[in-house]
Structure 1
């Protein structure tokens, strides 16, 4: 990766990164620098120059100045730039995957898959850049005659706030449609994971994106608050947790700007005895322990009909216990570290409390250092944990753990299954396993979730909208719906 050198900063595999403002990588900021720690080794592996309100103001001013020219650029030219971003990203998947693994500890196979997904969204939204259309409104014979039509228009400057758990995925879901719609973008990247996003920004500039169109600001809450409150930012797109979302909504009220929220989840796999039980267990375990459970739409609950319950519990425990835990840079590793020591301790606390009302059938502890390869023995690893007979009203059943923990609960009737699936504050996803088509038609409409899969997950194709109900947020990312989140509609009437 190309680094912006700072002689006073610590060195490491990732080097130094910082803000990108108006095409220039800053070598100092108003806030200063922080160390970046590799969660797999607990060693400093880079330095991050943080952004503050001054850098936010500078980036927004530059984006506002660049917007008229970017908006006026022919749609086919925007399309070709975004297509070039896709091409360059696909060529750099190994590099982008390595950076993601180094900064958040994701297994290299997953890191590479996330980079592929990001490139796919740029290709998808490149195809939309020259197909944004309005509508002609039929005239009313009793009103003034004329031509009435609509024009979708960009907001101007869009603020995007990324989360640390795989930010390259959010780059594709947020930045690609925002640019295709004709907006300029100011991105607050997470200080825990800024390096992959910085490499993306370099690729975008190489692809021909004008310097003032994309700005990158690694930073903390102070930078985020200034971005949300800034009067020249037309809208905000945020991925993260509910407490931060509440603060963002409070700050956004000062300028009444719209806010797209992609928040947490507590997705359930609901398994009936007529299902392919092997497939249900394999898919659920693979999802739950992806990224060590640190994802919003992972299937962290397994609801099983009592007729198949013990068989599924035994199979899930075996599948979890067989997962390869260790160095995330090794292709065979399925489970890497959690993001830090605080996260590890919090997750272990949730597991300890869950043991009071549930049955831990596998895992439940920090990974013993002696079982890990020498290079990662100081990392932040938690055993893949499966808890059966979970109390439906307990913390582990209702709320996000954001760690490698699968909760299993029995049910007896279809009605009870639906009630349990919906019995959390979240509504991001649900998965139904059954061969009964009539049951699918009855149950799917009753799930309070933005995405429902039947007999397996889709892998999130770029044309599919993604978003949640209830406390999982509002608005959609991906697909046509994700494009129009970054557009506002103007109605035009021309009197005959």
Structure 2
């Protein structure tokens, strides 16, 4: 493990962003962001209360009901998205540095995820907005006596509740399609990343975006609850835990408003006997351990055929030992700390309970000597199929290895989960597609896992409702109107 450098100086915000203005919050309560590297203070932001949420929602409501945004043509909104992308691009490197300070994400990860992908998302949805499919005018009536018009209109005010692990990219996956559709938005970032989100406020002011289109209220769970329950919200898009997703789905159901949920995962990587292990492990290095395992689509279960179990085990242990853990500001660091003491306690507790239940910790399974929340890359074997470590999302650098006998057994084990977000199959080209089709998951990779932004992404079962990515994501923020002739 490399030693950590000093966290950059503290950055603070004392306002929320509503109606195109910096607004003093209705509370003196603050979120104090702690560096997971050395526990120093990274910065402070308002811990918004219901009155602040109300102000932001009212601003978004006014902008939607009476402002120009929803009345623009999709092509006009596309021009604004391109302007926003250009302005965010100028801030990208500084934003990446701030995210590394906020959550300890290695700078080699935060740069593409904060200064490249979000910009790509915004420009992609600008292109989608320019497509001529917001209104279909030539659908023949079934009676053969005329044509009908099918319009896709913006839902209204959308609540965007985003996670901390990739805060900028997770936001633009919601913001891009929402704005393209013609919605106005209220953004609630995770408390752990309550600072970097304000780059969107600065950018929207810099380009002169109509006031109230983008509104931001930082805060914790109570802030999110106030936003979800607000009667001025027409749509909720949430990324986070399955537990919180159920509560949000229930709130949306009570009000009969649409909800999109991208939730947790417990994804399996199936290694077939025909797999090229050198190529497979080049992929698994990232598919298991990127961002210290703090990604919902991580391959936290590896399934190996009995005939190759020992070799896969030894390679996994060697891989975990080869990863460079340390200072996230160091360009060569692969794994930084876990984001917080709460997550560190969760990960270490799950590993300790697995060990106590009889599982073997082949490597790792302990905190690393440091002031911060560093945890060693960990490989576990011998855990029961129904055990917590196998069934529940860990959100840390921990992988369980399991053996199977035949492809049917591998499919059974992979599907034995209440999650269904991601997965991967490694093997010969003539075999892997057939196996992938049998896995109950929203996305699955062939000889690797790299989601294609141009295609729908989401989960089965407890991994969520609806789909993000692709042109289809705009539909999440639209109503459909039929005009009959």
Cα offset, 1:231, TM superposition: 1.9
How many aligned positions are there?
Answer: 472
Residue number in structure 1 paired with 2:367? 366
- Segments of 5+ residues of structure 1 without an aligned counterpart are 1-10, 370-377
Cα offset, 1:99, TM superposition: 1.0
Cα deviation digits, residues 38-74 of structure 1 (max 9, x gap): 1111111211111111111111111111114101123
> Is residue 35 from structure 1 mapped to residue 32 from structure 2 by the alignment?
yes
Residue number in structure 1 paired with 2:397? 404
Whether the 8 Å CA contact 2:159–2:187 is kept in 1: the answer is yes
Whether the 8 Å CA contact 2:273–2:308 is kept in 1: the answer is yes
Residue number in structure 1 paired with 2:151? 151
Residue number in structure 2 paired with 1:467? 458
Q: 1:416 aligns with which of 389, 409, 412?
A: 409
After superposition, the Cα gap between the structure-2 partners of 1:254 and 1:436, relative to the gap in structure 1 and judged at 3 Å, is closer
Q: Pairwise mapping of residues 480-491 of structure 1 onto structure 2 (< 5 A)?
A: 480-491=471-482
Cα offset, 1:220, TM superposition: 1.8
Of 41-50 and 222-231, more deviation after overlay is shown by 222-231
Cα offset, 1:242, TM superposition: 1.3
Residue number in structure 2 paired with 1:348? 348
Query: Match of 1:77, SS?
Result: helix
Of 479-488 and 353-362, more deviation after overlay is shown by 353-362
Cα offset, 1:431, TM superposition: 0.2
- Segments of 5+ residues of structure 2 without an aligned counterpart are 1-7
> Is residue 63 from structure 1 mapped to residue 74 from structure 2 by the alignment?
no
Residue number in structure 2 paired with 1:427? 420
Cα offset, 1:478, TM superposition: 0.7
Whether the 8 Å CA contact 1:389–1:410 is kept in 2: the answer is no
Whether the 8 Å CA contact 1:81–1:208 is kept in 2: the answer is no
Residue number in structure 2 paired with 1:140? 142
Whether the 8 Å CA contact 1:388–1:408 is kept in 2: the answer is yes
Cα deviation digits, residues 301-338 of structure 1 (max 9, x gap): 11111121111111111111111111111111111111
Whether the 8 Å CA contact 1:364–1:385 is kept in 2: the answer is yes
Task: Provide the TM-score with structure 1 as the length reference.
Answer: 0.92
Cα offset, 1:12, TM superposition: 4.3
Q: Which runs of 4+ in 1 moved over 4 A?
A: none
Whether the 8 Å CA contact 1:29–1:49 is kept in 2: the answer is no
After superposition, the Cα gap between the structure-2 partners of 1:457 and 1:241, relative to the gap in structure 1 and judged at 3 Å, is same
Query: Match of 2:105, SS?
Result: coil
Residue number in structure 1 paired with 2:438? 446
Query: Match of 1:215, SS?
Result: strand
Whether the 8 Å CA contact 1:16–1:49 is kept in 2: the answer is yes
After superposition, the Cα gap between the structure-2 partners of 1:192 and 1:29, relative to the gap in structure 1 and judged at 3 Å, is farther
Cα deviation digits, residues 173-199 of structure 1 (max 9, x gap): 000110011000011111211111111
Q: How many angstroms apart in 1 are the aligned matches of 2:205 and 2:424?
A: 40
Q: How many angstroms apart in 2 are the aligned matches of 1:419 and 1:81?
A: 48
Q: Pairwise mapping of residues 40-439 of structure 1 onto structure 2 (< 5 A)?
A: 40-67=37-64, 68=66, 69-115=68-114, 116-131=116-131, 132-135=133-136, 136-141=138-143, 145-355=145-355, 356-369=357-370, 378-437=371-430, 439=431
After superposition, the Cα gap between the structure-2 partners of 1:166 and 1:365, relative to the gap in structure 1 and judged at 3 Å, is same
Cα deviation digits, residues 347-369 of structure 1 (max 9, x gap): 11111122233221110100023
CA RMSD, Structure 1 to Structure 2 (Å): 1.6
Cα deviation digits, residues 227-266 of structure 1 (max 9, x gap): 2122221110000001111221222233111110000001
Q: How many angstroms apart in 2 are the aligned matches of 1:334 and 1:400?
A: 21
Cα offset, 1:112, TM superposition: 0.8
Q: How many angstroms apart in 1 are the aligned matches of 2:181 and 2:152?
A: 9
Q: How many angstroms apart in 2 are the aligned matches of 1:146 and 1:334?
A: 62
Cα deviation digits, residues 408-461 of structure 1 (max 9, x gap): 111111000001111111000110001141x22421221100001101122x34
Q: How many angstroms apart in 1 are the aligned matches of 2:432 and 2:286?
A: 23
Whether the 8 Å CA contact 2:31–2:219 is kept in 1: the answer is no
Q: How many angstroms apart in 1 are the aligned matches of 2:460 and 2:195?
A: 32
Whether the 8 Å CA contact 1:109–1:331 is kept in 2: the answer is yes
Cα deviation digits, residues 122-159 of structure 1 (max 9, x gap): 010010112243333322337xx333121000011111
Of 460-469 and 122-131, more deviation after overlay is shown by 460-469
Cα offset, 1:223, TM superposition: 2.0
Query: Match of 2:484, SS?
Result: strand
